[in-house]
Structure formats: C-alpha cells, structure tokens
Chain A
Amino acid sequence: MKILVPVKRVVDYNVKIRVKSDGTGVETNGVKMSMNPFDEIAVEEAVRLKEAGKASEIIAVSMGVAACAETIRTALAMGADRGILVETDVELQPLAVAKMLKVLVEKEQPGMVILGKQAIDDDMNATGQMLAALLGWSQGTFASKIVLEDGRAVVTREVDGGLETVALALPTIVTADLRLNEPRYASLPNIMKARKKPIETIKPADLGVDPTPRRTLVSVAEPPKRQAGVKVKSVAELVEKLKTEAKVI
C-alpha cells in the first residue's frame, strides 16, 4: 500500500509573527520557514508504517512556491521515497488544495493519505476532511493512534471529552494530532540520501484545477493587547481583590 503525505511550508513555529503595518497580511519575507509541525507527525507516522512493513512507498506532496521543494526534501530525509511539487504563486486555500490532491490520489492510488490536522499559519483544520469528502472516503481526524487490521484502519481520535476510536474502510484519510508520535530528526546520511530522491514538479493546470481563492483577505490586524495588571503581595490580598475589585468570586 502506498501512503501519500501532503506537507505544507509555513512560518516556523518558533517565530514570533509580525502583522504588516499596512494590514495586508503577516510578514513572511526573510522569516524562517519550516514544515508545518503536524505534517512532520504525519510523515513520521507514514515512515513508521513503512518500517513496520504495512506500507510500500511514501509520496510527499507540497503545493505553493518553488521553495516548497525544501519542505519535500525534509520529508524525504525523514524517510519518504519521492516527492511531487505542485508549483504556483497563487495563494492556495484548502478547497483548491483538496481538489488538486484528489487528482493526485486518483493517479497514485494510495491506500491512505495522512495529513497534519491543521496548518499553524491559517489554522483552518480543513484540508483532510475536504479531501475525504471529494474522494468519498472515510476520515479519521485528530488521530492519536492508527492500527491497520483486517483491511480497515482503526483510528483513535482526540475528542473534546477524551478519546474516541473508530474503524474506517480503506482507502482512508487520517489527520495527525500531537500525540500520534514524536517525529524523528533526519540524520546527516539520510539528508544526503534525500538529495538523490526524485521530486516531480507540475503546475495546477496539469491537474486540471483552477486554484483561484474563493475567499479574499480584507485585512489583517494585531489582536487586542491585554494590559498587565497588578502584583499582589499575598494570597489573602489576592482573594480580597478577586472578591471586592474584580467581583468574580
């Protein structure tokens, strides 16, 4: 069984982002970019399934500017076998990404697609569910465990009150939550090896998809800032203030 893993290039999670002064977006020029952390977890899970003999080949896909090839290289260094870059300068939104992934899935015929549950830039949490819908496949979102057995995927999901386990017909879509695994660091030999692994570059038009956004960004603003309050000297003073000043207890 092949596994397809889409990976997104985003502003590194350690970067404190800055809203552009003209309110047109968030500054990404000269900012460190990395693979979306949830996508690293997705790649790791695919590699572990391959190491366990449950998967035959891992294909990493990224979409966006030419530099997304670096993100694919990271996935290849972690253990993916080959990459596909859908190159475009158009801003991509989940619906367009899901439509392009659908065409790639129909071509590559994977038994499973594993995605990060959400990207840490637009925080949409949508692409996996949307791809499942377009393909008519089952979906196991926010996964903390994946077991392949009897031709099904048994997925444990992080839900509001705890955990839920579902069984899914294959092929299926799984989206990775934080506790699914701890992604490995690529070793130097593997980084070198990844340089020789193939990356195919195509355009949205090759997939027959018009990626024009359906949603326009009107403006981006800083969130309202909270002011620091006062320091109290004792627990007694704290409780007193909460009772008489804040009136919340």
Chain B
Amino acid sequence: MAVLVLLDHEAGSIKQPSRSAIAAATKLGEVHVLLTGSDCALAAAAAANLAGVAKVITATDTAFDHVLAEPMAALIVAMAPGYSHILAASTATGKNVMPRVAALLDVQPISDISGVIDADTFIRPIYAGNAMATVKSSDAKKVITVRAASFDPVASTGGAASTEAASAVALPDISWFVSAELSKSERPELTAARVVVSGGRGMQNGENFKLLDPIADKLGAAVGASRAAVDAGFVPNDYQVGQTGKIVAPELYVAIGISGAIQHLAGMKDSKVIVAINKDEEAPIFQVADYGLVADLFTALPELAAELSK
C-alpha cells in the first residue's frame, strides 16, 4: 500500500520540513503527497517535481486555507483507506492535525520520529532527546510525525508525479480562523536555515540582539534564541530553539551568550558544526561545541562582523 504525506506549502513552494518528511516516507512505500488550500496549484506543480513523489493529490477547498485541524483531519481520514502510513513533518501544522487523524482512525500516533527501522518500528526521542526510544506499533495503519532535522530533505527536482484532485468530503464547521501575526523577516526560517546564529541571556536585552544582524547577514543565517532570552522578553517566542521551541540541525550553529541548558541543547545538538562564544569558560555549551571562544560577546561580536567582512 502507498504512503501519504501531508505537505506544508507557502508562496508556491514546498516547505523544507515537508521535504524531509517525504524522505522518511520513501523508506516505507510509494509516496503520495497531499496539498491543501485554494492557492495550492503552484505548490502542486512544485511537488510533482520532488524526487521520490509518485502522486500529488490536491484539495483546493477554501476550508483548508488556514489548515485548521478539524477540516484537515476529516479530509485525511476520508483518504486513509488507501494508505498504510500517513505522515507529516513535526511542524505546528503536523503536530496539530496528525493526532486528531490518529484518534479518528483508532490508532496510537507515533510523534516526531528520528529514524525508520522497518514498516512498524521507529526511533523517536523522549525526555527532550535525552533518551532515544525504539518503538513498534501494532496498529494496522500508522500515523506519524517526522522530526525534519533527522532526515535530509528530498531534492526539489527529479520527480515526475501525476496529479489528481481529492474527492470532496463533509467538513466540520466548529472552528474559524480569525487572524495571524507572523514575524516578518528577510532571513531564512529557523528550521530550514543552513546557518543559525542564536543569542541567550548573555545578550542582556532585546536591543543588543541587533548585534547579531550583521553576522547573520554575512552568513545568510536565521536568528534564534535560548528560552532564557525569550522568557526575559528579549525576543518573541518563535525565535526559541530548544525542547519547548524549535528543533534545528543546521550546517553551522553559533551560540552567543548561551550557557547551554539541557533544554536548549535538546534543540540544537544535532547541528553539524557548533560554535560557542561565552565569557564563562565553565559554561556547559562548551561541552558540545566544536569551536569555543571564551570572550565577552560585546567585544567578540563586532570583531566577528568585521572578520567576516574581510
């Protein structure tokens, strides 16, 4: 039986965490992908080109425009009989929708997998990534969310999938979109960025986060923060990297003024190269950093910006 992957899309392209979810799905069977919303035509064309995708299914009802869990789950449940596994990335959407799908199918979901052993057996982090559990499902159908940082995204070209429209289903009308306040940034998204520059409590205030801008600009980086910096009100919550924020695994992670609480490490320790700048040489962040610099960040940051401009 084929495998269905729910995709997140924006402005005509498929979001990177969804491409990682497809990578996980290719280990389980023929991959069909689902795109929803009245504006998904461009994204559907992009999805048809993705490596490893056999079929693109579109549901263009406006009821799906804000990916509310109630109508989304009804749609996916109606499609479920044709699939052995149903997956989505562990994004805000995947985490919201997939457990609802699982309950409607009488299935115990498997959240945030970081590895696929076989069709029934998966690895997933528990206790904020401080232990890795191998779990085996006895459900006939599996409903899964995928930790994007653990799977290399499939290539955006190389596929030649067919496209079809989803059948219409009756949708619940019990929830309504009101508004969204999304952070506007020219920078890449945290979970998709090749480089992430994060600030912690050591930044002292929100104004000082501007010191990270020239460095992030030079490196094409996303800007993140520790929970301590978010709790102190320096930056909004969507900057947060860690157990209770976003999980990232960029090529390069630069931690500035971050002590390295377990909660933060849980969100970034799978980064390829980690750099830490902290004035406290005993800071736990140095135990996971490939390159550590013991320095006052207010001296080091301008120097780093200058050095990167050379």
Contacts and interface: CB of A to CB of B under 8 A. Distances in A.
Interface of A: 11, 16-17, 19, 26, 93-95, 98, 120-134, 136-142, 144, 154, 157-169, 178-179, 213-223, 226, 228-236, 238-239, 241-242, 246, 248-249
B121 interface: yes
B293 to A, nearest CB: 5
A17 B289 contact: no
A134 B103 contact: yes
A248 B252 contact: yes
Contact of B177 (A123, A166, A179): A166
Contacts of B75: none
A229 B291 contact: yes
A17 B107 contact: no
Contacts of B96: 129, 139, 141-142
B293 A215 contact: no
A126 to B, nearest CB: 4
Nearest to B101: A133
Nearest to A159: B92
Contact of A229 (B136, B281, B292, B307): B292
A169 B291 contact: no
Given A94-B109, A137-B174, A239-B308, 5 more contacts: A130-B109, A159-B93, A164-B177, A218-B121, A231-B281
Given A93-B108, A161-B182, A213-B108, A179 B134 contact: no
Contact of B110 (A137, A215, A223): A215
Interface string B65-104: 0101110010000000000000000011101111111111
B289 A229 contact: yes
Interface residues of B, number: 87
B138 interface: yes
Interface stretch (B151-159, B162-170, B236-244): B236-244
Contacts of A137: 174
Interface stretch (B19-27, B34-42, B123-131): B123-131
B269 A230 contact: no
Question: Which residue of B121, B124, B269, B275 has the most chain A CB atoms within 10 A of its CB atom?
Answer: B275
B116 interface: no
A223 B68 CA distance: 34
6 contacts: A95-B108, A127-B99, A133-B99, A139-B69, A166-B68, A214-B107
B286 interface: yes
- Chain B interface main SS type: mixed
A71 B99 CA distance: 25
B12 interface: no
Q: Give the secondary structure class of A's interface.
A: mixed
B232 interface: no
A19 B293 contact: no
A180 to B, nearest CB: 11
A133 B293 contact: no
Contacts of A249: 195, 219, 252, 308
A220 B126 CA distance: 9
Given A125-B95, A160-B191, A216-B138, A231 B292 contact: yes
Contact of A238 (B112, B129, B238, B304): B304
A98 B103 CA distance: 8
A143 to B, nearest CB: 11
A42 to B, nearest CB: 15
B103 A238 contact: no
B99 A129 contact: yes
A134 B252 CA distance: 43
A19 B131 contact: yes
Contacts of B95: 125, 141-142
B106 interface: yes
Contact of B136 (A162, A216, A239, A241): A216
A94 B128 contact: no
Interface string B277-295: 0000100001111111111
B181 interface: yes
Contacts of B128: 120, 123
Contacts of B243: 120
A123 B125 contact: yes
A130 B91 CA distance: 17
Given A16-B262, A120-B128, A158 B178 contact: no
B91 A160 contact: yes
Shortest beta-carbon contacts, A-B, top 9: A229-B290, A130-B103, A133-B103, A129-B99, A126-B99, A214-B108, A159-B92, A218-B134, A162-B182
A217 B135 contact: yes
A164 to B, nearest CB: 5
B208 to A, nearest CB: 18
A167 B173 CA distance: 11
Contacts of B112: 123, 125
Interface string B250-290: 01100000000010000001001111000001000011111
